[in-house]
Chains A and B, each alone.
Chain A
Amino acid sequence: MEDKKGRMVAALENGTVIDHIPTQKLFTVVQLLQLDKCKDSVTIGNNYSSKKLGHKGLIKVADRFFSDDEISRLAVVCPNIRLCIIRDYEVVEKKEVCLPDQLTNVVRCANPVCITNNEPMKTVFYVVDKERGIMKCRYCGKEQCIDNIKLV
């Protein structure tokens, strides 16, 4: 019984486990990391019970190690996510995700008359308040909050 329960999260030889994903954000994370187009073996689980969140989502990706850039993009969606780097069945590193100072082509500007919504170009946002998750568009200068952003 114990073995079966454990197997879901343990059987990864090399790769990354993304843990503590809020259940409603799980598929946003999948989309953000483009795991739907990923050739490696991916396990996506949702509604596991969690002491911290009540319920949580969890993703395991075999043989994939995310770049700092990808991790910072994750921070936009869910700031409290955790990554476990697995090598040879062992957790060799745990990474807490945190919001970077600048986000390039991650977030869409909420201002319809912003140039970024009308040209094929990358968006750039400056994180002006990490605590409250406030970010400012490089182009139109409008600020928006992390709670109601749209991804590019």
Chain B
Amino acid sequence: MGNRSIVSIADYSREKIQQLLDMAAEFEKAPNRRILQGKVVATLFFEPSTRTRLSFETAANRLGARVIGFTDPKVTSSSKGETLKDTIKMVSNYADVIVMRHKLEGAALYASEVTNVPIINAGDGSNLHPSQTMLDLYSIYKTQGTLENLNIYMVGDLKYGRTVHSLLMSMRKYNPTFHFIAPKELEMPEEYKMYCKLNKINYVEQTDFTEDTIADADILYMTRVQRERFTDLMEYERVKDAYILKADMLGKCRKNMKILHPLPRVNEIEYDVDESEHAYYFEQARNGLYARQALICDVLGITPEQIKTDLTIIEA
């Protein structure tokens, strides 16, 4: 239904990404505004995700919108409840934007087809999570000053970690070099390696995670290695400590190197790393607020120029 929904940003042009980054930067300078006064943002979490929901609701609230919505932990694919279409149709009568998270793949795209109200995909199944990707891009851009020609090291669970898959695809146009550091059982899936080959993206695969192997990284993107992902628990026991980042591994790394992590962490980054100037994961989470403010405004048709000349800023 030809609206401004954001289902995936994997195919966004450089110009579009830059626009969103610029908007996020404006919101970082002045996050409190009334630019969305009179608007209603619905957050429909068919699958619970407290962090993502809080971040979106804060983004909407800080721009003066009102928020309605639900988190329904009982909704399952097999429950005989209302169809997704009917729920979306109903909420479309009330809201100007629908932020939704769903456990089924393709749910956000389908929702965007049954309504004229713009949909923001806050994650559907293992499929897509554009707001996480946008905050990752913003974090990289902010810390490196560019998205071009960076060495991005992805560590841990590269098989199931959807954030690394989304990030990989959205970096396509910026000539990155990826290093995939993972245990054999959680290595980057073949389809994403094919994607790299097709798009002429350089990548290196390795299983060693040491001070030396990460020395050339600009971005070290850490993920959780979860026990339940392993079919072979012997293998888990063998590798579980091999992908933990420790402060003493940072001795040889580049000055500009930043450590990202989608959070929550379990034990994959030791607490002594938090003190390091390279640790960036908490700021990264805060960037999520600005990135989501940018996404909400974008689907409502608000331009970067309008945000730059916005007179509704609330001074602290």
Contact = CB atoms under 8 A, between A and B. Distances in A.
Contact of B84 (A111, A114, A119): A119
B83 A120 contact: yes
Given A115-B110, A119-B110, A121-B110, A139 B84 contact: no
A145 B125 CA distance: 22
Interface in B116-147: 124-127
B9 interface: no
B83 A119 contact: yes
Contacts of A121: 85, 110
Interface centre among B102, B105, B107 (most CB of A within 10 A): B105
A11 interface: no
Given A119-B84, A119-B85, A140-B125, A113 B110 contact: no
A115 B85 contact: no
A114 B125 CA distance: 8
Chain B, interface residues (CB within 8 Å), range: 10 to 19
Interface in A100-151: 111, 113-116, 118-121, 137-142
Contact of B104 (A113, A137, A141): A113
Given A113-B104, A115-B84, A119-B83, A141 B127 contact: yes
Interface extent on A, as a size class? 10 to 19
Contacts of B77: 113, 118
B109 A138 contact: yes
Given A119-B83, A140-B127, A141-B127, A113 B103 contact: yes
B64 interface: no
Contacts of A115: 84, 102, 104-107, 109-110, 124
A141 B191 CA distance: 11
A119 B77 CA distance: 9
A139 B105 contact: yes
A124 to B, nearest CB: 10
B123 to A, nearest CB: 13
B83 A141 contact: no
A129 to B, nearest CB: 13
Contacts of B103: 113
Contacts of B84: 115, 118-119
A2 B127 CA distance: 61
Interface centre among A115, A119, A120, A121 (most CB of B within 10 A): A115
A89 B103 CA distance: 56
Interface string B84-111: 1100000000000000001111110110
A137 B83 contact: no
A114 B84 CA distance: 13
A13 to B, nearest CB: 45
B104 A114 contact: yes
A140 B85 contact: no
Contacts of A119: 83-85, 110
A140 B110 contact: no
A138 B126 CA distance: 15
Contacts of B109: 115, 138-139
Contacts of B105: 111, 113-115, 139-142
Nearest to B84: A119
Contacts of A139: 105-106, 109-110
25 contacts: A111-B105, A113-B77, A113-B105, A113-B125, A113-B126, A114-B104, A115-B102, A115-B104, A115-B105, A115-B107, A115-B109, A116-B106, A118-B77, A118-B84, A118-B104, A119-B83, A120-B85, A121-B85, A121-B110, A138-B106, A139-B106, A139-B110, A140-B127, A141-B127, A142-B105
Q: Which A-B residue pairs are the 10 nearest by beta carbons?
A: A139-B106, A140-B105, A115-B106, A140-B106, A115-B104, A115-B107, A118-B77, A115-B110, A114-B105, A113-B125
Interface of B: 77, 83-85, 102-107, 109-110, 124-127
Interface of A: 111, 113-116, 118-121, 137-142
Given A115-B102, A120-B83, A138-B109, 11 more contacts: A113-B125, A113-B126, A114-B104, A114-B105, A115-B107, A118-B77, A118-B104, A139-B105, A139-B106, A140-B105, A141-B106
